[in-house]
Structure 1
Amino acid sequence: MAPVTEHQGSFLSRISRRNQIVSMDVNHEQELEELEDFQKHVAERFTELLSPSNTTTTAADSPESDPILSIQWLRKLLDVFMSCESEFHSLLTSNSSQISKPPLDKLVPEMLDRIVKALDICTAVVNGVDLVRQIQRLAEIAVTALKQRPLSDGSVRRAKRALTSLLAALNADKNSVSSGRKTTTAEQWSSMGRRSGGGGEGCVSKNWSAAKQIQAMTANLVAPRGGESSPIYIMNSVMVVMMWTLVAAIPCQTSNGLTVHLPLPKNQVWASAAVSIHERIGEELKRKEKRCGGGGLMEEMQRMERIGLKMMEFSEGFRFNGEENVVEEVAEMEEICRKMEDGLEGLQRRVREVFHRLIKSRSEILEAIDHCNG
């Protein structure tokens, strides 16, 4: 074979560089396509949380039966997160060689830190569901007492005691301040969680705060320059939105101060529905914090409080000829208890699934980093 001349070498170098550029263009085009698909997936799944169901066949399955922050809606939210996380993980692992290179070399460690904080929040939420169960039991005691016929003074007293505890639990932050008790709200929730048998993946410390965890998760959540989104920024945002919503809905240890700004780009298609959800919950949260502080916006708990106040009013003014005045409220409270009985276990199970999915995802990301550095 004849030796390669200088001219031939120059020509081959140009061909090589051209092929590299073409390869880079193809890879970039593929990344843009994958990003577009991921954004579309996130947008569609979050839009489902705002849209009425198209498969309703009975009154029990109607959209009105799953309002925002209801138990069933929260279960759907967790399903949306799992679906988005699965799509994201496929994206990340398909480009695992880039995981230790800029900009992922900085973004990935931040995500791993958020996952650790999210695991703590999952633990607090699982324990919080146990506390909601205790509130449900108090409501059931009041319902049973006020369903007695003829309604006696003793039954009304039993109902009143249960309702007093129920309303105090629903407004724990307000009562812990106004009554001057030495025990903090965080300690109340923590000790009650231990008495209820836990059921979570562990315990958080007495000084732990769900609201502070959320604030820490949003602290360095910054959109990429140029207004473009990246898969890791989108997934971080999805994780923060979900954890914030869970803490707002379910009474967690020290959930005061949740009215934080979530830096979501309203102009991005993927974020539009998430922003709407955040704004709607945020307005309700502001009203709740002005009134008594803390989270606990679960739709069933909100209804339980309204009905409980009416039942308490009846109990305090009870006269033996007034039985029928509370029949409707008792029936509605009984229906809420039934929904909680049916839904809380499934909700708790979903949170545990998210907990274990996050652990697995974090381990696989760490393995990918070790492989790149090895």
Structure 2
Amino acid sequence: MPATDYQGSFLGRISIRRNQVMAMEGGHDQEVEDLEIFQRHVGDRFADLLASPTEDGNEVLLSIAWLRKLADMFLCCEAEFKALLMMGSDPSQISKPPLDRLIPEFLERVVKSLDICNAVSLGIESVRNFQKLAEIAVSALQQRPIGDGQVRRAKKALNSLITAMMVEDKDHSNGKSTERSWSFGRRSAASNKERAFGQFRSLSWNMAKGWSAAKQIHAMSSNLTAPRGGESSGLAMPFFIMSNVFVFVMWALVAAIPCQERNGLATHFPLPRQLSWAQPMIGLQEKIVEEWKKKEKKGSPGLLFEMQRLEKLGQSLIEFADSFQFPAEAESLQELKVQVEELADICRKMEEDLVPLQQQIREVFHRIVRSRAEVLDIYDQATKLSTPNV
């Protein structure tokens, strides 16, 4: 079910269940049941992500399709969390420990998530430009008969692609500013010329100087302690669960998409191994960390599956171009055809899915903004009710 449909059905459930809870003496039992359902749903959704198919499928780990699925999963979890909060928001409890501490900490994580959404959306712009360079190479290498001119044109585009990835990795890893030669929907004549000759650095806008994706993630994952005793059956648990969902989703997005300054993120952040809903999340974390450490040794702007394929095919085709002699042998042309077709297929998938992914990230951003306002409103009202009149 799409996230928007899921949210609509869940909000409808709120009104019905709220009336039911008010009419029942066992309201607490109902809250416990709702919490158990929420935990089960979170675990099931992450288990579905963990069960993504291999490279032959369409949702391989950290592919564009997988990230779109991740974004949908987040929106569903967020809708259900908000429903649970609205149903169980007892002002007398929200203004008392541990919620009087957990809610402000949660809101801080939310703000940091907004920054990460912006950084990821901008990083997707870089990926789209990697795609454009690959398309230039595909266009040149699909020409028949193929001659020196086509091979030189393809090699120039592929060298620019590999160089751009290396620059993106270096600048984003070290937190250095890059040139602003790309703006949303507009390109200057100078940037067109640079692109044609492959003489450009990063094509993404930048976050503020000194902004660090790694610091944001580390700050979000700090002070995450599982509720104990009676707290584990109250609203403290949904806040803890959703905080972990926030941290994981933002961390996975930063792992996949080029973002400014990511040093130190190829490590495990603490997840509650004793809780069943966290097990598939831990499994995903271990897989991503393994991939990150492998790519970190070689240097890479991100773990996005399609980017890794672009890089590998680009390097292979550059080797072909270096050894090309006209007329090419039939065996060499057949090998070239296979690689170019794979590169073209990746470009098509990127063309179809990168913009929708970017739109989903923006939807996540706006949903977070609305949810923050709603949680803040509930918290403020509870605080006012608990403050004695002077």
Q: What is the distance in 1 between the residues matched to 2:210 and 2:336?
A: 42
Which of 338, 358, 361 is residue 348 of structure 1 equivalent to? 358
Mark the runs of 5 or more structure 1 residues left unpaired by the alignment.
1-22, 54-61, 178-182
Match of 1:334 in 2: 344
Equivalent residue runs for 1:1-374 within 5 Å: 26-51=26-51, 64-96=57-89, 97=91, 98-172=93-167, 186-188=176-178, 191-192=180-181, 194=183, 204-225=207-228, 228=232, 230-292=237-299, 295-322=301-328, 324=333, 325-374=335-384
- Cα distance in 2 for residues equivalent to 1:345 and 1:320: 39
Which blocks of at least 5 consecutive residues in structure 2 are unaligned? 1-22, 188-204, 385-390
Q: 1:157: how far off?
A: 1.4
Change (3 A) 1:105 1:174: closer
TM-score (structure 2 length as normaliser): 0.79
2:388 aligns to what?
none
Do the aligned residues in 1 keep the contact of 2:212 with 2:261 (CA within 8 Å)? Answer: yes
Taking the aligned partners of 2:174 and 2:268, their CA distance within structure 1 comes to 26
Q: Matched residues in 1 for 2:33 and 2:134: separation?
A: 52
Is the CA contact 2:52–2:60 (under 8 Å) kept in the aligned structure 1? Answer: no
Q: What's the offset of the Cα at 1:192? A: 4.8
Amino acid at match of 2:143: Q
Instruction: State, as a whole percentage, how many aligned pairs show the same letter.
Output: 48
3-state SS of 1:191 partner:
coil
Measure how far apart 1:116 and its partner are.
Answer: 0.5
Q: 1:81 corresponds to which letter in structure 2?
A: F
CA-to-partner distance for each residue in 1:47-102, whole Å, 9 max, x for gaps?
1212368xxxxxxxx97121111111110111110001111111112232232221
- Structure-2 separation of matches of 1:159 and 1:124: 30
**SS in structure 1 of the partner of residue 265 of structure 2:** coil
Conserved? CA contact 2:180–2:206, under 8 Å: no
Whichever residue aligns with residue 70 of structure 2, its letter is: L
In structure 1, what residue type is equivalent to 2:86? T
Structure-2 change in CA distance of 1:175 and 1:234 (3 Å):
closer
Contact 1:139 1:333 in 2 (8 A): yes
Shift of 1:203: 5.8
Q: TM-score, normalised by structure 1?
A: 0.82
Aligned residues: 334
> Residues 96-130 of structure 1: CA distance to partner in whole angstroms, max 9, x if unpaired?
22322211110000010001100000001111111
The DSSP-based 3-state class of the residue aligned with 2:177 is helix
Q: Match of 2:287, as an amino acid?
A: R
For the structure 1 residues 258 and 193, does the alpha-carbon distance in structure 2 shift closer, same or farther, using more than 3 Å as the test?
A: farther
Check the 8 A contact 1:142/1:163 in 2, yes or no: yes
CA RMSD of aligned residues (A): 2.7
